[in-house]
């Protein structure tokens, strides 16, 4: 079985011989690819406890607290012949890893899950895209690109893949309902670029709009508002499904997204979804996803339309096909095996 070296900027924590991360993708993708490759995961070390436990019987995991040890671990893999290298997302750490691989003549795959130009702008302002541009264009040299959408490739050649975390459990016992009042749900990290603080400010002007947030990864929430309830990251699949089933509209207020899998989760549970215009591109041909302006008037109009047409929208959602996690992993492995 061929070696696959996965290089990630994500932070992992370690307790005894167990490893944990906060990004579920960084658990399921390496574990899934372990069916096709002997996987070694090289990542950063977190000083804080993480949530999702990795199966270290399937993976060899190495985490490092500084960039020199991180790069040294990658260089040590060069002694092995015919390794495949997969870099997940671009950051200063993975950029330097990419340059190291380039310098030693190693071909690599780069998996882009989001638009870094938009993310850096949301975080750093007008200088963000220029900084990311340097990282992006230097990193893609002699690189096989894989992305969740064509717009992320910015005209460069690459393979497009549809990620998913959906198991069969998401598609059984789905509830059709006829709601009269909105019960909004957001599942995701509490971060500025995710737009959750923007959404909180909008609905603070109408306390009849209730929002449930699932995804707090800190001991104390940074959002305190009477019409918002905040819960920690939910690790149990069945309990997470219950959150979707107990609400009637999913909302994703992000300023930037590549291919948000929470939208697939909402649609799998027949829940209409609202996004703001900044990420209107994620709608594509999906049924049940609606675009609102980032203001209270437009948001309430969109909510009213959904509630007035709820059963019709649910039927449209039910009749579309959603990619499963198994299909995603199989397609990813196929791309890696093409070269």
CA angle at 337 for the pair 333 and 338, rounded to the nearest 5°: 120
Residue 273 contacts residue 288 (beta carbons within 8 Å): yes
Q: Is the pLDDT confidence value at 119 over 90?
A: no
Tokens of 290: 């609606």
Q: Is the pLDDT confidence value at 32 over 70?
A: yes
Domain spanning 3-164+326-336, CATH architecture: 3-Layer(aba) Sandwich (3.40)
Give me the pLDDT at residue 247, please.
Answer: 97
Q: Is the pLDDT confidence value at 95 over 80?
A: yes
Give me the pLDDT at residue 219, please.
Answer: 60
Least reliable range by pLDDT among 24-28, 72-76, 85-89: 24-28
Report the chain's C-alpha Rg in angstroms: 20
* pLDDT band at 236; cut points 50, 70, 90: very high
Residue 75 dihedral angles phi and psi, to the nearest 5°: -60, -35
CATH number at 168-318:
3.40.50.2000
Report pTM.
Answer: 0.89
Give me the pLDDT at residue 338, please.
Answer: 86
Tokens of 53: 């436990």
CATH 3.40.50.2000 placement within the chain: 3-164+326-336, 168-318
Question: pLDDT, tens digit, for every residue of 9-18?
Answer: 999 999 988 9
CA distances from 269 to 239, 248, 249, 264, 265 (A): 13, 10, 11, 9, 6
The average pLDDT across 45-50 equals: 88
Beta-bridge partners for 78: none
Question: pLDDT, tens digit, for every residue of 155-212?
Answer: 999 999 999 999 999 999 998 899 999 999 999 988 888 999 999 999 999 999 999 9
Question: pLDDT, tens digit, for every residue of 285-334?
Answer: 999 999 999 999 999 999 999 999 999 999 999 999 999 999 999 999 99
Q: Is the pLDDT confidence value at 220 over 80?
A: no
Helix (H, G, I), strand (E, B) or coil at 9: strand
What is the pLDDT of the chain when averaged over all its residues? 93
Q: What is the DSSP string of 239-306?
A: HHHHHHHT-SEEEE--S--SS-HHHHHHHHTT--EEEEGGGGGG-TT-TTEEEE-SSHHHHHHHHHHH
Q: Is the pLDDT confidence value at 110 over 70?
A: yes
The average pLDDT across 69-89 equals: 95
**275: buried, middle or exposed (CB in 10 Å: 19+, 13-18, 0-12)?**
buried
> Rounded to a whole number, what is the largest CA-CA distance in the chain?
64
Residue 112 contacts residue 126 (beta carbons within 8 Å): no
């Amino acid at each position: 079985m061929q070696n696959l070296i996965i290089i990630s900027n994500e932070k992992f924590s370690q307790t005894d011989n167990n490893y944990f991360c906060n990004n579920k993708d960084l658990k399921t993708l390496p574990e899934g690819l372990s069916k096709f490759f002997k996987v070694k995961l090289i990542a950063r070390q977190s000083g804080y406890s993480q949530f999702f436990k990795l199966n270290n019987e399937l993976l060899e995991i190495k985490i490092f607290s500084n960039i020199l040890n991180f790069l040294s671990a990658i260089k040590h893999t060069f002694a092995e012949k015919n390794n495949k290298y997969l870099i997940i997302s671009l950051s200063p750490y993975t950029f330097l890893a990419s340059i190291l691989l380039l310098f030693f003549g190693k071909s690599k795959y780069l998996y882009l899950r989001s638009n870094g130009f938009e993310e850096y702008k949301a975080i750093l302002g007008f200088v963000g895209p220029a900084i990311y541009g340097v990282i992006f264009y230097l990193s893609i040299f002699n690189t096989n690109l894989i992305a969740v959408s064509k717009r992320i490739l910015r005209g460069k050649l690459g393979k497009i893949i549809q990620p998913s975390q959906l198991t069969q459990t998401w598609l059984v016992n789905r509830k059709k309902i006829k709601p009269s009042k909105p019960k909004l749900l957001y599942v995701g990290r509490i971060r500025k670029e995710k737009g959750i603080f923007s959404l909180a400010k909008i609905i603070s002007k109408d306390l009849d709009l209730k929002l449930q947030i699932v995804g707090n990864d800190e001991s104390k929430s940074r959002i305190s508002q009477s019409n918002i309830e905040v819960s920690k990251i939910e690790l149990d699949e069945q309990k997470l499904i219950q959150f979707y089933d107990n609400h009637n509209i999913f909302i994703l207020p992000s300023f930037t997204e590549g291919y948000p899998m929470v939208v697939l989760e909402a649609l799998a549970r027949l829940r209409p979804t609202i996004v703001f215009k900044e990420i209107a591109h994620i709608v594509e041909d999906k049924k049940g996803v609606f675009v609102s302006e980032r203001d209270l008037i437009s948001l309430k109009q969109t909510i009213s339309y959904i509630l007035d047409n709820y059963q019709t929208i649910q039927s449209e959602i039910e009749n579309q096909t959603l990619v499963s996690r198994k299909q995603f992993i199989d397609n990813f492995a196929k791309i890696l095996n093409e070269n």
